[in-house]
Chains A and B, each alone.
Chain A
Amino acid sequence: MSEPIKKVSIVVSKGSLEGVYPGLIMANGARMEGIEASLFFTFFGLHAIVKKKMEKLKVATVGNPALCVPDAMGFPMPTILGAIPGMSAFATHMMKKEMDKLDIPPVGEFIEMISDAGGEIFACKATVDMFHLKPEDFCPQMDRVLTVGEFYELSAGSQIIFT
Chain B
Amino acid sequence: MATKELAGSSVEVNEEGYLTDRTQWNEAVAAALATEEGIELSDEHWKVLKFIESDFAEKQAVPGMRRLNKVGGIPTKDLYRLFPGGPIKKAARIAGFPKPASCV
Also in contact, A116 and B80, with CB within 8 A (given A103-B66, A103-B67): yes
**Which A residue's beta carbon lies closest to that of B68?**
A103
| A117 in contact with B102 (CB, 8 Å) | no
How many residues does chain B have at the interface if contact means C-beta atoms less than 8 Å apart? 18
* A156 sits at the interface (CB 8 A): no
Instruction: Scan A101-112; emit 1 where CB is below 8 A from any B CB, else 0.
Output: 011110001001
Instruction: Scan A83-119; emit 1 where CB is below 8 A from any B CB, else 0.
Output: 0000000000000000000111100010011001110
Cα distance A102–B67 in the bound complex, in angstroms: 10
Cα distance A82–B4 in the bound complex, in angstroms: 58
- Chain A residues in contact with chain B, CB under 8 A? 25, 28-29, 31-34, 102-105, 109, 112-113, 116-118
Starting from the known contacts A102-B102, A117-B65, 8 additional A-B residue pairs (CB-CB under 8 Å) come to A32-B65, A32-B87, A34-B84, A105-B104, A113-B66, A116-B75, A117-B76, A117-B80
